[in-house]
C-alpha cells in the first residue's frame, strides 16, 4: 500500500491513469456495459476491472487524482436512457454530485445516445468496469491538466 492513494485504485488502473495525457478519455462503467468488447478498440486495448466497487466510490477515488478537462464544454459524457432522451437514472445525479464536488464547481455532463456512446467509448484511452449493477452507469471522463 502507498499512503494517500485510495485502495480502490489498483495497480493496473494507476498505471493507465499515469499513461494518460490531456484530452485522453477514461470510461467508468457498470457491470452491464459491453466493456470487454469495446476495450479492445481503446488505446490501452484491454479491460481494467475494479471488482467489488461501485461507480460512485470509484469516481470519487479517480477524481482525487484525475483533473477534468477545463477546455471541454462537457468534460463528462453519459449514456442516454434508451427511448427517453430526457430520462433520468438515479446514477446520473449521483455522479453529477461527485464530479461537482471533486472539481469545486458545476461541471457540464453531456448525454449521448447508446450507440453513439459506444463509438465514443472506443476512442477512449481505457475502459474501467466496476461491479455496479446499473442501469445506465456509463460515463466518459476527459482528462485535463493540473
Question: How long a stretch of residues is the chain?
Answer: 146
- State pLDDT tens for residues 3-35: 889 999 999 999 999 999 999 999 999 999 999
Q: Where are the domains of the chain?
A: 11-143
User: Does the predicted model carry a pTM greater than 0.85?
Assistant: yes
3-state DSSP assignment of residue 27: strand
Question: One of 24, 69, 132, 136 is an active-site residue; which one?
Answer: 69
Would residue 33 show up in a list of annotated catalytic residues for this protein? no
**Strand 25-29 versus strand 138-142 pairing type:** antiparallel
- Classify 11-143 by CATH class: alpha beta
Would residue 118 show up in a list of annotated catalytic residues for this protein? yes
Would residue 100 show up in a list of annotated catalytic residues for this protein? no
- State pLDDT tens for residues 55-106: 999 999 999 999 999 999 999 999 999 999 999 999 999 999 999 999 999 9
Amino acid at each position: 500500500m502507498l499512503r494517500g492513494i485510495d485502495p480502490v485504485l489498483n495497480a493496473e488502473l494507476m498505471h493507465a491513469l499515469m499513461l494518460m495525457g490531456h484530452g485522453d478519455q477514461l470510461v467508468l462503467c457498470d457491470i452491464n456495459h459491453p466493456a470487454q468488447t469495446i476495450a479492445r478498440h481503446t488505446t490501452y486495448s484491454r479491460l481494467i476491472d475494479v471488482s467489488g466497487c461501485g461507480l460512485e466510490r470509484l469516481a470519487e477515488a479517480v477524481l482525487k487524482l484525475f483533473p477534468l478537462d477545463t477546455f471541454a464544454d462537457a468534460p463528462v459524457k453519459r449514456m442516454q436512457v434508451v427511448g427517453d432522451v430526457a430520462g433520468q437514472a438515479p446514477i446520473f445525479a449521483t455522479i453529477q454530485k461527485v464530479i461537482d464536488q471533486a472539481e469545486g464547481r458545476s461541471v457540464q455532463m453531456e448525454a449521448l445516445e447508446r450507440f453513439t456512446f459506444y463509438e465514443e467509448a472506443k476512442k477512449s484511452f481505457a475502459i474501467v468496469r466496476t461491479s455496479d449493477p446499473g442501469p445506465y452507469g456509463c460515463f466518459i471522463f476527459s482528462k485535463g491538466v493540473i
